[in-house]
Amino acid sequence: MTQAPDDAARRRAVPPVICYPNDTLPQPDLALYQRARATAQKLAQVLVSPRQAGCFRVRAGQVFRISCPEGSQVGDLNLWNADDLSERFFSGKSRALHGSHLGVGDRMWSSFPALRPMATIIADSLGWYGADEFGGRVHDVIGTRCDPYTHRLLSGGEYHHCCHSNLTRALAAETGLTLEQAEGHVHDVLNVFMCTGFTRDTGQYFMKASPARAGDFIEFFAEIDLLGALSACPGGDCGAEHSSDAAQCHPLLVEVFQPAEGALDGWVSPPPNGYSRSHGA
């Protein structure tokens, strides 16, 4: 331990400042999206088996819903620009802009240089959860995804159905990329239905059993054409452990909906970020 300076209390008492105040962040027209959703017809669905991942495609202006059809299950979600896999979900910046957990009205932002909304959350049946007494919340952008490398580091063993590997296999199967190529496109996730936080005393990342039950869902409005991949985490509800075959796991359902003709009049898919990219050179 280092010696605290004489003015330690005064330094600690400095109030925090929000890094990215949302008053200058462009806000979605949530009411328009929700009205459009009310007109939408189902187009397609993908059922993701436990300890596997599945890919799905959503056009700009369509809605996709992720649900737990049979029981509590955490999902690890990746999104890419359907026409350019180098533009992908930017978990870290989404966290900086919206906070550690996402809810209705929050966006999934894409990587540099595009940095634009890929999807906007328009409904969440777990919106009631808020924060629990441990500081736990749902749908985090802090956990990166369970993966076989960290598993090997911590346990020494091999496990092939971590979300990272599930996403890699699914993306390879969908695109025809090799496993090695596909793996490079897999990125930090939105942890759908997962309940997580940081312990107050040690600041460690924690998880606890998801409050999701059969029928719970979250819905997203696609801002650009998307390729998505969703892994049904081997941790099941993530109440005990992940990266093993011990937890009870359930499938996840992805459904895609098309709003009625004219329901999105006035809406335009967001262009890539307008920064010049000169970087001052």
Of 163 and 172, which CB lies nearer to Zn ion in the complex structure?
163
Tokens of 182: 């596909």
120: burial class by Cβ within 10 Å (0-12, 13-18, 19+)? buried
Q: Least distance (Å) from Zn ion to the CB of residue 233? A: 3
Instruction: List 48's β-bridge partners, or say none.
Output: 252
CA 16 to centroid of chain Cα atoms = 26
Q: What angle do CA 176, 181, 184 make, to 5 degrees?
A: 130
Q: Least distance (Å) from Zn ion to the CB of residue 137? A: 18
> What contacts 206, CB < 8 A, 6 or more positions away?
134, 136, 196, 197, 198, 199
Q: Least distance (Å) from Zn ion to the CB of residue 70? A: 18
Of 247 and 264, which CB lies nearer to Zn ion in the complex structure?
247
Q: Least distance (Å) from Zn ion to the CB of residue 187? A: 14
Of 58 and 163, which CB lies nearer to Zn ion in the complex structure?
163
Of 146 and 186, which CB lies nearer to Zn ion in the complex structure?
146
Of 116 and 161, which CB lies nearer to Zn ion in the complex structure?
161
Length of the chain: 281
- Alpha-carbon dihedral angle through residues 246, 251, 252, 256, given to the nearest 10 degrees: 160
Q: Which contiguous run of DSSP H or E holds residue 87?
A: strand 84-88
Of 81 and 165, which CB lies nearer to Zn ion in the complex structure?
165
Q: Least distance (Å) from Zn ion to the CB of residue 241? A: 11
Residues of the shown chain interacting with Zn ion in the complex, contacts defined by CB under 5 A: 146, 163, 233
Name the one residue in this structure whose structure tokens are 């312990």.
199
Q: Least distance (Å) from Zn ion to the CB of residue 44? A: 24
